[in-house]
Amino acid sequence: MAVSVDDREKQQLMIDRVIQEDGIVPDFTMLTDVDHQVIDRYGLFNPDEPRSRPVPHPTTFVIDKQGIVQWKFVEVNYRVRPENQDILEALMELQATESPSG
């Protein structure tokens, strides 16, 4: 899932852009946090962002079934994102530890 400070209208503009540029429809839940309560709880809001409005630090969490963060990627630069392979490895490791035989 994704959480952003954008309202539904701005999220839809982003979805439309992704579809147009990449030909892919995002297939995950997108939540809005306009008042950035969740983002603030994790300490991710970036008040120093030099854009027209502050944006959160790009962050990816892998969370286990008990709600515990098992892996995270936090970056100050909004253009830097984790590699898909890094996320997949974290998910595979989590799956191995949560499986009955692991």
pLDDT digits (tens, 9 = 90+) for 33-78: 888 888 888 888 777 766 666 678 889 999 999 989 999 999 887 7
- 63 in the same domain as 102: yes
Same-domain check for residues 48 and 69: no
Q: Which domain holds residue 40?
A: 1-57
* Apex 68 CA angle, 65 and 73, nearest 5: 115
Q: Please tell me the total count of domains within the chain.
A: 2
Same domain? 52 vs 76: no
Are 46 and 1 in a shared domain? yes
Angle at 26 between CA 14 and CA 40, to 5 degrees: 65
pTM for this entry = 0.69
Average pLDDT over residues 21-44: 88
